[in-house]
Amino acid sequence: MLLKDREYEVDVVDIGQGGVGIGKHDGFTVFVDGGLISDKLKVKITKSKKNYAVGEIVEIIEKSPFRVERVCSDKLSDCGGCQIQELDYQKQLDIKTNEVKQTISRIGKLNDTLVHPTLGMENPFRYRNKAQFPIQKIDGKTVIGFYKKKSHDVIPTDKCIIQHDVNDKIIKIIKTYIKAYNVSIYDEKTHTGVLRHLVTKVGFETKEVMVVLVANGKKLPYLNELASVLKENVPGFKTLVLNTNREKTNVILGKENKVIYGDGKINDYIGDLVFEISPLSFFQVNPSQTEVLYNKALEYADLKENDTVFDIYCGIGTISLFLAQKAKKVYGVEIVGDAIKDAKINAELNKLENTEFFVGKAEEVVPKLYKEGKTANVVVVDPPRKGCEESVLDTIVSMEPDKVVYVSCNPSTLARDLAYLDERGYKCKEIQPVDMFPHTMHVESVALLCRD
């Protein structure tokens, strides 16, 4: 056991969840925020437990060969976004591949499954098409930026190297607007004040820009004037929306939108497909890697013109429409009603008439549709982080599709669900990790399962 407030030499041997370095001192585990694989560190212990300790870096004794210079400002080193930006990008990809392999083996007990190297980006910067900036008053000064790690204190951010560069201009304009019109800023501790967040969405292909101001109320001053300034100074600016969120919550967007300028929507493409995006629409934040992910799902599905597909947890129909280009029929299921409305609009936009969408919980709707006689020979699932409900997996097994394509944002629940399906006759042939979120520890995967 290591002593609190004492300093020790620690060798970092791995990186855990949240990008925390996993170090060893004489075999004892020490978690060190900011530690990278192969760093030798002098660490001061801040928390000491029987089986582990937590420490902070006092000195880097020997730099890891994988440690690289930060691209963004050192002032943003406490930002909770890019957990492993200082790690060589190829090493980031290797870690993510290894994370999927180890998790599939440890939790799923699937030791023979082929896990391919993670597919990364040629340029892993400025890749996000959506930004959410909290706004705060700190010492009387308005601050727009991102939350500091493990807090709700905002770090000022003039530019972010993973967000689209149009945000740099928008932040400056919003700051000027706030100052010029003495706009009231929300205080989450007292639930007073008005302006809470700035949200932006950008079409990477169309170059269309949406600006959303989230307010603790239905009014903000001089929004028409703000729209004029945005139109004059932001290339591609298409719409300004006021979103009302009066709740005491960490959820950023409320349900009520008022369009100030434009039509409240932008469009963007994934491959040849066009998608309509509203303030509340879910749309993958990395469009170039989304195309990589979906093309891999399409490759694994290997659809023929007479195939019928179930797309479970279909969202706004992005994967459904990719599949519909090849299949005879695609059924999409999603719990969020607004997402299904968007899915139907997107099907019409792309003139794909072989889709049908259903609203409801997957664990209720999928068994119901199956009982009604709707079945499929290919099933695609893209569940939330918690994975699939057993009733969904049981219905899939009952349908006896030839193939199941599982798109996952969480290796742990993927491993659990693959093991469940493996016991019921569906063997995982291969898994392709895809790096949707460079400089973070998150990894997406696509798995192909076939019936024995």
DSSP code per residue over 98-112: HHHHHHHHHTT--TT
DSSP code per residue over 13-30: EEE-GGGEEEEEETTEEE
What count of other Cβ atoms lies within 10 Å of the Cβ of residue 48? 17
**CA gap 136, 146 in Å, rounded:** 10
Cα–Cα distances in Å, from 239 out to 200, 230, 265?
10, 9, 7
Which residues have CB under 8 Å from 372's CB, separation 6+? none
Strand bridging mode 154-156 / 426-434? unpaired
**CA gap 396, 381 in Å, rounded:** 10
What count of other Cβ atoms lies within 10 Å of the Cβ of residue 49? 10
Cα dihedral 74, 75, 79, 84 in deg (nearest 10):
0
Amino acid present at 63: K
Instruction: Indicate if the alpha-carbon torsion angle 237, 268, 387, 296 is positive or negative.
Output: negative
**Angle of helix 166-180 relative to helix 223-233, nearest 10 degrees?**
150
Which of the residues 82, 314, 388, 409 is marked catalytic?
409
- 334 annotated ligand-binding residue: yes
Q: Which residues pair with 130 in a beta bridge?
A: 201
- 85 annotated ligand-binding residue: no
Q: Is 409 a catalytic residue?
A: yes
Helical residues (DSSP H) of 267-410, grouped into ranges: 287-301, 318-324, 337-349, 362-371, 390-399
- 59 annotated ligand-binding residue: no
Cβ distance 415 to 267 under 8 Å?
no
Q: Which helix (H) or strand (E) holds 379?
A: strand 378-381
**CA gap 141, 156 in Å, rounded:** 11
Cβ distance 431 to 104 under 8 Å?
yes
Helical residues (DSSP H) of 129-165, grouped into ranges: none
Q: Which helix (H) or strand (E) holds 175?
A: helix 166-180
Residue positions in the annotated binding site? 284, 313, 334, 382
Residues forming the active site: 409
Residue positions in the annotated binding site for S-adenosyl-L-methionine? 284, 313, 334, 382
